[in-house]
Every structure is written in C-alpha cells, then in structure tokens.
C-alpha cells in the first residue's frame, strides 16, 4: 500500500467516524456501554478529533511524495 493510499484510507475512515458521531448527536441516539450512558459531549469531542484527523490525512495525501519521505 502506498503512502497516498494509506493517507486517503485513514482520512476516509476518520471522516466516516466523525459523520456517524455527528448523526448520533443530531438524531439523539443514546449509547450505553456496560450499563453507563455515554454523554453527548463525548460525541462532540469525537467529532472534533476524528474530523481533525481526517483533515490532516487528506492534506497529507496531497503533499508531494518527496516531502513525505523526508519526514
């Protein structure tokens, strides 16, 4: 798998996670883990983090390959 393909795949997965968390907030879906309700503010954090990681992944995919190898 090339670096660009990896960056694109990772960014798409993080974008999907951010979208699903945002849908959870909008639709009001409740999540219970081991009998404990997960608050909606946790989904806001997940949207922010996953969205940022998706953005970074898509930006990294657009960088020239020569710059990626120097890092």
Residues 6 or more apart whose CB falls under 8 angstroms from that of 51 comprise 14, 15, 18
**pLDDT at 70 (0 to 100):** 58
The alpha carbon of 46 is separated from its chain's Cα centroid by a whole number of angstroms, namely 8
Q: What proportion of the chain, given as a percentage, has pLDDT over 90?
A: 76
Domain count, the chain: 1
Per-residue pLDDT at 51 exceeds 60:
yes
| pTM of the predicted model as reported, rounded to 2 decimal places | 0.82
Q: What is the domain extent for residue 60?
A: 3-70
The conformational region for residue 35 under phi > 0 = left, psi -120 to 50 = alpha, else beta, is left
Cβ atoms of 11 and 61 within 8 Å: the answer is: yes
């Amino acid at each position: 798998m090339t670096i660009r393909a990896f960056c694109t795949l990772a960014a798409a997965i993080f974008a999907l996670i951010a979208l699903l968390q945002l849908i959870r907030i909008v639709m009001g879906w409740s999540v219970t883990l081991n009998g404990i309700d997960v608050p909606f503010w946790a989904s806001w954090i997940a949207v922010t983090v996953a969205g940022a990681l998706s953005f970074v992944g898509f930006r990294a995919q657009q960088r020239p390959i020569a710059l990626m190898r120097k890092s």
